[in-house]
Structure 1
Amino acid sequence: MALTAWSENGGLLPVIVRTDAVSAEAVDLMNNSRPVEIHDGRILLEIGSVPVTLRLKGATRAEFAGNPVRLESADIALPGKTYRFAAKLTNPLDEPAEFALEFRAPAGFRPEKTQRRITVPAGKTVELACELHADETLRPAFGVPVSLTADYRLSGDTVKGSIAIPVRVAQVVPQGATAGRAPDFTLAHRRQVRELFTGDPSRGHLLWKGPRDLSGQVSLGTEGANLLLLVRVTDNIHCQPERGANTWMGDNVQFALELPGRKDAWEFGLTRLADGSPEVWCWNAPEGFAPASAARGIALATSRKGTETVYRAKIPFETLGLTPELLKKGFRFNLLINDNDGGGRQGWISIAPGIGERKDPSQFPFVIFD
């Protein structure tokens, strides 16, 4: 008998399998196997995002018996604030069991309690309310996973393992002008770059050479009932042969927002055309909004000096359906800078994944205005 399992939440997930198998082994996608212990007819299997197959020798039955430990949170981490999460403990045994937990917090966080112990009745689930405290100096590095890990033991060492969940960290943006302060986002790291010709030796000259080749600084702000967006791009060659919907094929800026309560996300393009004039394009709008009308509502000014191109956009709140309340509640935001040095689009650099290769707002940074 064989079972295949994987986790869709991005972290490790322990599962209990009841079986009458004589022995068991876990097999990965490369057909590498490792033995898995069976305790009193129960197997603990830790699964991740990559599928694994559990082979059960001599088994006539196998059933899912629950997750002994789950970590859950709907919270957003903010500098200097408390991040709340829950540890749900399920006892799959036929007798009371003691759970021992030890939390390993990500950099920039401190757990309220590093260790917790609790006895859970047979077949029951107990939920523990837990907290992390985020440092005042916490600065998210978007695109780099931030995870909270719990090492656990159940009834001594009968069942033990680790479980992790991603921690969502928000970027706090001060309201007001964008001038006179550090940028909210910096695009200058190799992990933020996506190249389209990595495997083509004949186009090696088009590969990213570093921040002087392509990089950017992004600042958000407010002015009255307007959202401000300032993007400073360092690009050794500015090339934009397109207009309108095809401007993503040349040098330009794409940015996207997903507002709470809206069906679908906004996606705009900010472009300095070949003749130096500015252009705004809207590829996508939430239900109830007109893309062309939204693009006309945005005031854009661009400039180019040396290797720096600057984009300054003023976006009325009403154009986006944005309100002062939503600024404080927060929304998802992402941005990329396209690169074309004259031989076609060669790639881009983005704040975080989810806007370039495929559209996935769940990967966008979460922004809160303070």
Structure 2
Amino acid sequence: MSNGLQSPTRKPRDLRLDLLLNRIGAEPSLHSQTIQLDAKESFVAAATAIPKLRRLPALDIWSENDGLFAFLFGRADEHLLVAWREDPQIPDAIWAVRTDAQKLIQTDLFGNSTELPLIDGVALVTLSAPHYYDFVGSKSAPEQLGPLVRLPQTVSPDADGIASLELKLQNPLQRTVTVTATAQVKASANSPQTITRNIATGETGIFPLRFNVGQGALGEIVTVDAALSFKELAWAPSLQIPVVYNSIRTDTSTRIELNSLNQVLNKQDYDPHTLHLLWGSPADLSVRAKIHSSPASRLVKVTCQVTDNQHYAATAEEALLDGDALEIGWENQQGLRGHVAIAGDLGASPRNEFYLGTERMDSPLISAIQITREGKTTTWELTLDTRQMGLNESDFEQGIRFNFAVHDNDGEGPKSWMSPTPGLGGRSYFSSEHFYRLELGSAQD
């Protein structure tokens, strides 16, 4: 197969960069990225991509997980890296790469090129907007040394609107470097934060950053622009760090929409190459959810409207989450985890499995529920009793971590699930690190 770019067939504003990767010892596989471009931009981007991707065979996959994608193409004296960040909620990445290339040329989608500096045979590659990196005159394939910068996968403000993080920079050179980090919230009137560190060979410098970003709507993003300068060296990379508001506020009915590919996880061996086969559009599977905390009555109300072309509830012999199902997880201030899986049985008494910690519970967590189906829309309406969730007064004051997932099966086997943030997919995959923070409010007896 040849490497190539396909023109959009459904939406004229979508450009699909289809990288056909002929991996040694594996079947050819397809990865695609959708980028919003107008018609003229699409033609220019295609004119840039086609000659680059057709001339070189695929060599290696550097990354295809956690929203970062990088694919290496090449032959004996020429190598090309295609790299980008896909998830808007994670920070840009900067990698250190060792190469014997005579020069390194970075080209954007529209053919604009910049030569990047090589220091002691090491270059810095940024995974942000899509770029091509041409290793001109390289005799051997470039070697990824690892991240130059390590950041949390997601950054969110606390209840007071303060976003805190540590930018950790590892020195990839065989010499001590002096690095200055300058960071500022985009379009902010506040002065930028500037920190300088001397970092020995192989050591890591830590740059603590703290920003007052105030309050924002759930899922809203503000961007921190960070620039790095190396004293007496030509390196001057920059990166964007999104700060994602993740609080579900008790005084409003928070609405959440799930309708994009990066909110889908595949159940088929977690192979990202099959995602496009299982989820084609929001008409196949999408979710509109509302979450509301009622502290006076100690209830959490959840409503999900699920667009699903086929409805299938698990049989008695199947796991509940292998059919159409709703999964909810939470963790309180003391680290007590709760998890409930609810089968897509229509009516007011669906099967469910409720755990607190590792213990299966028989207590009535769900105080009310109704699942209905009209056309291709399944509506879930349920109320959770916070007393059965294992919550206490400090949880009402400080909030809890909270997440949900909608599971899909069209009758041909478990397909995938959609979730607003990572961390669910069955009790064995439970991780609350990226859950939303549910503000329960002050409980009133």
TM-score, normalized by length of structure 1?
Answer: 0.63
1:83 equivalent in structure 2: 163
- Checking the alignment, whether the CA contact within 8 Å between 2:345 and 2:351 is kept in structure 1 is no
> Does 1:171 pair with 2:246?
yes
Note the aligned Cα RMSD (angstroms). 5.1
Which residue number corresponds to residue 221 of structure 1?
292
State the shift of 1:309 in Å.
1.8
Q: Which runs of 5+ in 2 are unaligned?
A: 1-65, 67-89, 101-115, 128-141
Q: Is the 8 A contact 1:330 1:366 kept in 2?
A: yes
Instruction: Give, in whole Å, the separation in 1 of the partners of 2:270 and 2:230.
Output: 48
**Distance in 2 between the 1:316 and 1:304 partners?**
25
Match of 1:237 in 2: 310
- Deviations along 1:121-140, one digit per CA (max 9) or x if unpaired, are 999x9987754342655542
> What CA distance in whole angstroms lies between the structure 2 residues aligned with 1:198 and 1:89?
34
Matching of residue 266 in structure 1 with residue 345 in structure 2: no
Residue 172 of structure 1: CA displacement? 2.9
1:193-230 alpha-carbon deviations (Å, 9 max, x no partner): 23456999xx9997323222211122221231122222
The change in CA–CA distance for 1:237 and 1:46 in structure 2 (over 3 A counts) is closer
1:253 aligns with 2:326: yes
Aligned counterpart in structure 2 of residue 325 of structure 1, from 382, 389, 394: 394
Flag the 1:52–1:38 CA change in 2: closer, same or farther, 3 A.
closer
Residue 279 to residue 176, structure 1, CA distance change in 2 (3 Å): farther
- For 2:324, what is the secondary structure of its paired residue? coil
1:31-75 C-alpha deviation (Å, 9 max, x unpaired)? xxx996359xxx998999xx9666xxxxxxxxxxxx999878998
Residue of 173, 181, 184 corresponding to 1:101: 181
State whether residues 170 and 367 of structure 1, in contact with CA within 8 Å, keep that contact through their aligned partners in structure 2. no
Q: Distance in 2 between matches of 1:259 and 1:244?
A: 33
Structure 1 residues 131 and 52, CA, compared in 2 at 3 Å: closer, same or farther? same
Identical amino acids, percent of aligned pairs: 19
Give the deviation of 1:87 after TM superposition.
6.7
Q: How does 1:1-370 map to 2 (within 5 A)?
A: 25=98, 37-38=119-120, 76-77=156-157, 81-85=161-165, 100-103=180-183, 105=185, 110=188, 112-114=190-192, 116=194, 130-134=209-213, 137=216, 139-140=218-219, 148=224, 150-157=226-233, 160-162=235-237, 169-175=244-250, 178=253, 183=255, 185-196=256-267, 207-223=278-294, 224-243=297-316, 246-263=319-336, 265-273=337-345, 276-282=347-353, 284-286=355-357, 290-294=359-363, 298-356=367-425, 358-369=429-440
Deviation at 1:259, TM superposition (A): 1.9
Q: Which amino acid aligns with 2:356?
A: A
Residue by residue, what CA displacement relative to the aligned partner does 1:77-134 show, whole Å, maximum 9, x if unpaired? Answer: 169934345678999xxxx9975433254x6x737323636697999x9987754342
Amino acid at match of 2:309: N
Q: Secondary structure at the residue paired with 1:248?
A: helix
Distance 1:169 1:307, change over 3 A: same
Q: Distance in 2 between matches of 1:207 and 1:127?
A: 42
- Residues 314-335 of structure 1 show CA distances to partners (whole Å, capped at 9, x for unaligned) of 2222211223532442322222
Larger relative contact order, structure 1 or 2 (CA cutoff 8 Å, min sep 6)? 1
Contact map agreement 2:306 2:378 (CA 8 A) in 1:
yes
Q: TM-score, normalised by structure 2?
A: 0.54
Quick one: which amino acid aligns to residue 83 of structure 1?
A
- The structure-2 alpha-carbon separation of the partners of 1:11 and 1:282, relative to structure 1 and needing over 3 Å to count, comes to farther
Kept in 1, the 8 Å contact 2:179–2:199? The answer is no
Residue 212 to residue 98, structure 1, CA distance change in 2 (3 Å): closer
**1:338-360 deviations in Å (ceiling 9; x for gaps):** 11222222222221222128333
Kindly tell me the number of residue pairs found equivalent between the two proteins. Answer: 315
Contact 2:301 / 2:382 at 8 angstroms: preserved in 1? yes
Do the aligned partners of 1:87 and 1:127 also contact (CA within 8 Å) in 2?
yes
Give the letter for the 2:247 counterpart. Answer: V
Contact 2:154–2:244 (CA under 8 A) maintained in structure 1: no
| Structure 1 CA distance for aligned equivalents of residues 99 and 151 of structure 2 | 24
1:154 Cα deviation after fit:
4.2
TM-fit CA distance, 1:253: 0.7
